[in-house]
Amino acid sequence: MIYNGSLYKRGVVGCTFQSPVSIEVIKDLSKFKGDFSKNFVSENTQAFLIFTDGYADNIPLLLESLYENNLKEVAYIGGSSGSIINIDQPSLFTSDDFFSGGAIIATVEEFISVGINHGWQPVSEPAISSSLDKRIIKSINFEPALKYYKRIVEQDAGIRLTADNFLDVAKSYPLGMLKYDGEIILRVPLGGGEKNTLLLYSEIPENSVLVVAKGDPDKLIAAAGTAAEESKIAFENKMKVPPGKALIIDCLARAMFLEGRINDELEIVANKAGSDVFIFGFLGLGEIASTGDKYIELYNKTIVVVMGE
C-alpha cells in the first residue's frame, strides 16, 4: 500500500468520492461474455475504476467490452490484485464477499486526470509473435519464443539465461508490444515452457509486434515524474484549480526491479504533484489505464498517476 507517499506491507487504503458511484461485480471472469447490467453507466459518468484478479481469464475481453459499450472519452483506470505465491488466493472484496477470479468495476461522476509512463527502452528490433495462446508465446519471427528471447537477453546482458536465474534476469528485460503510435505496452516474462515456449504474466493479442526492452532505474524514475506532470497539467487545464489527491497505481514487478529506489519514484511523483497533493495508492500485478483519447490498455511494469479534487 502507498499512503502519504510511503510504502506499507500491511493495511488498507481507500478514498471516497463526492459524486454518485455505481458498482458492477463480476465474480467469475472465465464465464464473462461481454454483458453488463443496463443501468450500470449513467450519462454523467466521467471515469471507470476497474479492479481485477490478476490471474483471471478474459481480462482483455472485459476491457474491450467496457470500451466498446460505453463512453470513449471518459477515463479508465485500475489495476490487478493477487498473490505472487498463491495464485488461487482471494484478493477482491465487496461488502458481502471475498473472492478470486473476478472483477469489480465502479463508475464515477467526477473528472479525474491520468498520466501513464514506464521509461523502459527497446534493445531489439521489432519482431512478430507468429504463434501464441493468450499468455503463452510459441514463436517469435517463426523461431521458438524462448530461444529468441534468450538470444536477445544473453547478447545484451552478457550472461547465460537459465531456469535458475530466469526471473532474476528477466525482471530487467520485459517484452513490449509496439503500438501503431510508437507506444510500448510491456509484458512480464515468467519463464519457459514445453517446446521452448515463453510464458507471460498477462495476455497479448495474436500477431503483436514485439520488442525486448531494458530497464535503467534513473529512466524509470524520470518517467514516473513525467506521468505525474502530465496528470497534473491535464487536471489543471480542465478544472482550473490544482488537484488535491493523487492515486498511484504502480507495478509490483517494477518495484522489484527498482528495489530500494522505489522510494525515489514515490518522491519524484510527490514533488511533481505539489506539496498540497495527498499521495496514496498501491502496487499491483498489472495496471489499467486510458487518458480518454486512447484505447484502454492493460499494462505491466508501468506507473499510472491519477489526480482528482
**Residue 134: all three cell numbers together:** 493468450
Alpha helix ranges (H) inside the chain: 59-69, 145-157, 166-170, 217-239, 252-258, 262-273
Residues in the chain: 309
Strand partners, 26: 103
Reading phi first (left if > 0) and then psi (alpha if -120 to 50, else beta), residue 101 is in left
Taking alpha carbons only, the member of 50, 30, 29, 31 closest to residue 40 is 50
**What's the mean pLDDT when you consider all of the chain?**
92
Q: Which residue has the cell 492515486?
A: 247
For residues 274-291, average pLDDT: 93
Assess whether pLDDT exceeds 70 at residue 307: yes
Kindly compute the dihedral angle of the four CA atoms of residues 212, 79, 46, 61, in this order, to the nearest 10 degrees: 70
pLDDT of residue 293 exceeding 70: no
> Cell 515463453 maps to which residue?
198
| Structure confidence by residue, pLDDT tens digits, 25-77 | 999 999 999 888 777 888 889 999 999 999 998 898 999 888 887 766 789 99
Mapped onto helix, strand or coil, the DSSP state of residue 259 is helix
- DSSP state, residue 208: -
What digits encode the pLDDT tens for the residues 151-175?
999 999 999 999 999 999 999 999 9
Between 22 and 70, name the one with better pLDDT. 22
- Assess contact for 308 and 247: CB atoms under 8 A: yes
* Mean pLDDT confidence for 260-275: 96
CB 34 within 8 A of CB 296: no
- pTM value surpassing 0.85: yes
The tens digit of pLDDT for each residue in 89-111 reads 999 999 889 999 999 999 999 99
Strand-by-strand arrangement of the 75-81 sheet: 21-26, 103-108, 47-53, 75-81, 287-290, 297-299
Distance (Å, whole) CA 156 – CA 75: 38
Look at residue 292 in the predicted model and tell me its pLDDT.
65
The 3-state secondary structure of 3-55, one letter per residue: ECCEECCCCCCCCCCCCCEEEEEECCHHHCCCCCCCCCCCCCCCEEEEEEECC
pLDDT at 216 over 80: yes
Q: Decide if pLDDT at 202 tops 90.
A: no
* Cα separation, 308 vs 32, whole angstroms: 31
Q: Report the share of the chain in percent with pLDDT over 90.
A: 72
User: Is the pLDDT reported for residue 304 higher than 70?
Assistant: yes
Beta bridge partners of 7: 2
Q: Which residue has the cell 511494469?
A: 301
Q: Determine the average pLDDT of the residues in 283-298.
A: 85
pLDDT tier at 285, thresholds 50, 70, 90: very high
* Interatomic CA distance for residues 23 and 46, integer angstroms: 14
Query: Rounded to a whole number, what is the largest CA-CA distance in the chain?
Result: 57
User: 24 and 36 in contact (C-beta within 8 Å)?
Assistant: yes
Distance CA 57, CA 28 (A): 9
Look at 222 and 16; give whichever has higher pLDDT.
222
